[in-house]
Structure 1
Amino acid sequence: MANAYLQVIAHFFAKPGHGDAIVKHLAELAEATRAEPKNLYYEFFRSPLEPDHFVILEQYSDANGLAEHRETEHFQRLGFGTIIPLLERREVSSHMVPGDAA
């Protein structure tokens, strides 16, 4: 029986022309995040129609995983310090996903 996990869905909207820079930084952030103990999954996707729009899907083993992720050195440096200043806006939602009943 699988345990419940936290699913995070983020939409990042880059300032016009900053999409390529964000790809580079997101790739570095993704690699570091995947090594976190509570991270189960981290992938990001770039829209082919709107190259300044990104969707990030993250999964953490418990409800505290996202908060702990935001405190890491790599998120402080890459997320807050580098990526977020390049965004026009971001939308982040998180949801607990129940474990399997089987």
Structure 2
Amino acid sequence: MAHAYLQVIAHFFAKPGQGDAIVEPLTELAAATRAEPKNLYYEFFRSPLAPDHFVILEQYSDANGLAEHRETEHFHRLGFGTIIPMLERREVSSHMVSGDAT
């Protein structure tokens, strides 16, 4: 039987020239997020043409997964404390998806 999960798509646009500085904390955030109980998938991708632009794909086992992720120590420290201040802007959307998360 198919299971619904939350798909999150985030675009992070670093301040000009800050892309390199975001890679290490984003790598640490990704590893910590993958260990969260409701996280099914977390990967980020850096644009080869616009190195200050990152796309993050996340999947959570239910609709509350993202909200719980945003309350974690690692998100407060790395997301709010380190990465977000280096961004020019960010766009985050989330969608419930029916099917198997892979």
Bin the TM-score by the shorter chain: over 0.9
TM-score by length of 2: 0.96
Deviations 1:18-47 (A, max 9, x none): 101111110000000000000000000000
Q: Structure 1 residue runs of 4+, over 3 Å off?
A: none
Structure 2 partner of 1:32:
32
| SS at structure 1 position matched to 2:26 | helix
Identity within the alignment, %? 90
Residue aligning to 2:97: 97
Distance 2:77 2:18 in 1: 18
Secondary structure (helix, strand or coil) at the match of 1:27 reads: helix
**Shift of residue 49, structure 1, vs aligned partner:** 0.1
1:84 alignment partner in structure 2: 84
Give the match for residue 17 of structure 1.
Answer: 17
Distance 1:27 1:45 in 2: 11
Q: Residue 45 of structure 2 aligns to a residue in which SS?
A: strand
> Secondary structure at the residue paired with 2:3?
coil
Q: Would you say how many aligned residue pairs link Structure 1 and Structure 2?
A: 100
Q: How does the TM-score come out when normalised to structure 1? A: 0.96
Partner of residue 55, structure 2: 55
Unaligned regions of 5+ residues in structure 2, if any? none
- Deviation per CA, 1:58-93: give whole Å up to 9, x if none: 000000000000000000000000000000000000
Q: Which residue of 2 aligns with 1:70?
A: 70
Q: Does 1:46 align with 2:46?
A: yes
Q: Write the letter of the residue equivalent to 1:47.
A: S
Secondary structure (helix, strand or coil) at the match of 2:51 reads coil
